[in-house]
A and B are shown apart, each in its own frame.
Chain A
């Protein structure tokens, strides 16, 4: 088993290189990179300063920068070398935890990413804990009371959460609870006067702001997990070993808790590793809707603004989390299910 996981860990390397190389190549090949942005900015400034003057430099109008300056900028952004060489330079820096400098903020990418972590992590943890705490008991209860009134009504609600994208739920919640009823803020992570508040008020403020976004995150993750729990529980309840347990005189409660429940938790454990990447990444659509300055929004904005060092930095973190999360899932499964043998 150790050999299996060692191999899986080693396989992260080629996959990681594949992902980053592909995005790196795309960012280098498309127009509108940092150099073009800089040039168009310069051109605008040049034109606005030339207003009123008769411009006689029509031939030179296409670029406000001289050839020399362009070359310097290319070297500054590392655009003077072929793609594969600059990729390896970039990769070498990544290995030493240097993700480069943002072209938009002129700050180290690592610092920018770090400053967003706490926001996404707060929401991620809240969502993770609440969804496990609620959906596991709920799934069990729904399985035991299959096709009861409670089961049918809750299924209808869960279906809404399952079929609607979570940011649309977020928009719906904003319309009802923030715009009309005025119960919750429209968005943001904390109030503007956050630093003046006492410890307790700070906590309450964050919870108050978090309520709607966390609900819309929950709606999606919660639906999937409750159904998973319910369906596996029902499969196990009708399995032969539960019937055997009942037949030998075990009470129903003992048969459920001692036998069916333990086996039903295995698929839930599978999903645990994957929630790690969701935990940190969040969903930028939800973050856009609620105007939360988190990790997802950072990635989205940097793509739109062509801030490629940040794009690649976000990609490094997210793909590593995802790849490690997959392995963690397998480890979880191996831990809860002794039948699983990974060595072939």
Chain B
């Protein structure tokens, strides 16, 4: 059983965070959206939530596809639930089904006869934000694009910070030649134009979710390393480290049990900003066409479509607005976290 105890200092910080309304409400709202998006299949999907057919209930959302034959249709491929709903409505049987709020998945093309996509928003068919140039629902793509981008960003922050914290604290703790070597390496490495390299690499291999994380890790670990190096240097010079050493604590114990817990406030204050910049980086790569492969739903790809089709303003405006909202919320959270961890009491004169 792991003891989960919040120490009073952390409690105080959390309390302070909650008093900063702008950041706290952004945090709640963003957590809500993130939580919803993890179960996004229940809200934005082409599969029905519940189907009641011949007195039997079906839940098609998760799991294997249910073919049309199950519901008395002729075809042997996946059921088109929107058509099934219309069929149920027109027939007088007691069968019914419930569709998600947005009855489209991000990959299907809704091509109508006599109309060419992109089509403007039309809530009667469930395209609340219209369709893109190939007839895919924009809200669905925005929604799943958000989920991919934010999960990508979380994972990227996790790997970047793990590498940064390990190398950075080693640099600060060991010092000397080791430190000097990495200092030079970081200086060179951070001057290499990272976008050029990514463009060159992704024109050879089509990056997948994880290979893109790896490539971005290659050029993203320096920031946290540098921060941790500085703060480890500071902490190492403090008395408690000397005390631990004289008690016979090993280097590993000093680093993991004493120094890193004391630098955690430095680390935490950077997390929201790193998440925001991760989302922005993925979006710009997708915008340029060097990010995740098509047809992955992505904001960058929508942005590209939108700028190429300014006569269809619903594409570009929906993605720009959602980007502004999400990134602003994350920045508000970041500002509040920083304020909570490092409160500044200002004096003003009258």
A interface with B by C-beta (< 8 Å)? 14-15, 18-19, 22-23, 26-27, 30-32, 144, 146, 159-160, 162-165, 167-168, 171-172, 174-175, 179-180, 234-235, 237-238, 243, 246, 252, 255, 285, 288-289, 299-300, 303-304, 311, 315, 318-319, 322-323
Q: How far is the CB of A188 from chain B (nearest CB, A)?
A: 15
> Assuming the A-B contacts A19-B192, A163-B331, A238-B345, are A285 and B284 also in contact, with contact meaning beta carbons closer than 8 angstroms in the complex?
yes
> Assuming the A-B contacts A159-B328, A160-B328, are A237 and B200 also in contact, with contact meaning beta carbons closer than 8 angstroms in the complex?
no
Cross-chain pairs A/B with CB under 8 angstroms, 18 sampled: A15-B187, A19-B188, A22-B188, A22-B192, A23-B192, A164-B323, A165-B280, A168-B320, A171-B307, A174-B310, A179-B311, A234-B344, A237-B346, A237-B347, A237-B348, A238-B345, A304-B203, A322-B191
Flag whether B109 is at the interface (Cβ < 8 A).
Answer: no
List the A side residues contacting B349 at CB < 8 Å.
Answer: 237, 246, 252, 255
Interchain CB contact under 8 A, A289 and B307: yes
List the A side residues contacting B332 at CB < 8 Å.
Answer: 159
List the B side residues contacting A311 at CB < 8 Å.
Answer: 196
> Assuming the A-B contacts A22-B192, A175-B316, A315-B193, are A15 and B307 also in contact, with contact meaning beta carbons closer than 8 angstroms in the complex?
no
Known: A175-B317, A237-B346. 20 other contacts (CB 8 A): A18-B184, A22-B188, A26-B200, A27-B200, A30-B200, A159-B331, A159-B332, A160-B328, A163-B276, A163-B330, A171-B307, A171-B316, A238-B345, A238-B346, A243-B347, A285-B284, A299-B196, A303-B196, A303-B199, A318-B193
Q: How far is the CB of A259 from chain B (nearest CB, A)?
A: 12
Q: Bound complex: CA of A15 vs CA of B186, how far in Å?
A: 10
Query: Quick one: which of B197, B284, B288, B306 contacts A26, CB cutoff 8 A?
Result: B197
Q: Bound complex: CA of A247 vs CA of B335, how far in Å?
A: 33
Flag whether B294 is at the interface (Cβ < 8 A).
Answer: no
Interchain CB contact under 8 A, A171 and B303: yes
Across chains A and B, which 6 residue pairs bring their CB atoms closest together, nearest first? A18-B188, A238-B347, A163-B331, A163-B327, A179-B310, A165-B280
Flag whether B283 is at the interface (Cβ < 8 A).
Answer: yes
Q: How far is the CB of B278 from chain A (nearest CB, A)?
A: 12
Interchain CB contact under 8 A, A15 and B188: yes
With both beta carbons as reference points, the residue of chain A lying nearest to B290 in the complex is identified as: A304
With both beta carbons as reference points, the residue of chain A lying nearest to B200 in the complex is identified as: A30
List the B side residues contacting A237 at CB < 8 Å.
Answer: 346-349
Count of chain B residues with a beta carbon within 8 Å of a chain A beta carbon = 43
Query: Quick one: which of B200, B288, B313, B331 contacts A175, CB cutoff 8 A?
Result: B313
Flag whether B204 is at the interface (Cβ < 8 A).
Answer: yes
Q: Bound complex: CA of A77 vs CA of B201, how far in Å?
A: 22
Per-residue 0/1 for B308-350: is the Cβ within 8 Å of any A Cβ (1 yes, 0 no)? 0011010011001001100110111001000000001111110
Q: How far is the CB of B66 from chain A (nearest CB, A)?
A: 41
Q: Bound complex: CA of A304 vs CA of B203, how far in Å?
A: 8
Interchain CB contact under 8 A, A323 and B327: no
- Among the interface residues B188, B199, B288, which one has the most CB atoms of the partner chain A within 10 A? B188
Q: Bound complex: CA of A239 vs CA of B320, how far in Å?
A: 42
Q: How far is the CB of A284 from chain B (nearest CB, A)?
A: 8
Interchain CB contact under 8 A, A32 and B307: no
With both beta carbons as reference points, the residue of chain A lying nearest to B329 in the complex is identified as: A163
Q: How far is the CB of B117 from chain A (nearest CB, A)?
A: 19
Q: How far is the CB of B30 from chain A (nearest CB, A)?
A: 13
> Assuming the A-B contacts A165-B284, A171-B306, A322-B191, are A304 and B204 also in contact, with contact meaning beta carbons closer than 8 angstroms in the complex?
no
Query: Quick one: which of B188, B197, B323 contacts A168, CB cutoff 8 A?
Result: B323
Q: How far is the CB of B63 from chain A (nearest CB, A)?
A: 38
Per-residue 0/1 for B274-293: is the Cβ within 8 Å of any A Cβ (1 yes, 0 no)? 00100010011001100000
Per-residue 0/1 for B72-95: is the Cβ within 8 Å of any A Cβ (1 yes, 0 no)? 000000000000000000000000
Interchain CB contact under 8 A, A235 and B344: yes
> Assuming the A-B contacts A19-B191, A26-B197, are A164 and B347 also in contact, with contact meaning beta carbons closer than 8 angstroms in the complex?
no
Q: Bound complex: CA of A243 vs CA of B348, how far in Å?
A: 10
Q: How far is the CB of B333 from chain A (nearest CB, A)?
A: 11
With both beta carbons as reference points, the residue of chain B lying nearest to A246 in the complex is identified as: B349
- Among the interface residues B191, B204, B311, B331, which one has the most CB atoms of the partner chain A within 10 A? B191
- Among the interface residues A23, A165, A172, A237, which one has the most CB atoms of the partner chain B within 10 A? A165
Interchain CB contact under 8 A, A146 and B324: no
Query: Quick one: which of A26, A162, A171, A300 contacts B331, CB cutoff 8 A?
Result: A162
- Among the interface residues A18, A315, A319, which one has the most CB atoms of the partner chain B within 10 A? A18
